[in-house]
Amino acid sequence: DEKEKFEPTVFRDTIVQGLNEAGNDLEAIAKFLDATGSRLDYRRYADTLFDILVAGSMLAPGGTRIDDNDKTKMTNHCVFFADEDHDAIRNYAQVGTG
């Protein structure tokens, strides 16, 4: 049996690229996440996916982002960058659970 490598940074890069390409269209983001879920192991990378959807990139212990301000490793399509109103946050929550 060959063990599969655990590569959260490759997973992050794939998710962030897709989110950024989807633009500001939450429906396109939801479709991307749905389609990508059949190719990527969301269970294996659940913590990384959660970090991206909430904070916009991977988080280190203590809560700092691991992106070195590299725009290709972070996205603004996350809860932290959403408008601060009930409807906007609810829409992001629905994307994550859709």
Give a yes or no: residue 95 inside a domain.
no
Model pLDDT, residue 46:
93
Give a yes or no: residue 68 inside a domain.
yes
Give a yes or no: residue 60 inside a domain.
yes
Number of domains in the chain: 1
Q: Is 49 exposed, middle or buried (0-12, 13-18, 19+ CB in 10 A)?
A: buried
pTM over 0.95: no
Residue 72 to residue 17: CA distance in whole angstroms: 7
Residue 66 has pLDDT above 90, yes or no: no
Residue-wise pLDDT tens digits, 6-48:
899 999 999 999 999 998 888 899 999 999 988 898 999 999 9
Residue 1 to residue 25: CA distance in whole angstroms: 42
Give a yes or no: residue 3 inside a domain.
no
Give a yes or no: residue 97 inside a domain.
no
What is the residue range of 12's domain? 8-81
Give a yes or no: residue 90 inside a domain.
no
Rounded to an integer, the average pLDDT of 57-85 is 88
Residue 25 to residue 72: CA distance in whole angstroms: 19
Model pLDDT, residue 21:
94
| Residue in this structure with the two tokens 């601060």, named with its chain if needed | 84
Give a yes or no: residue 32 inside a domain.
yes
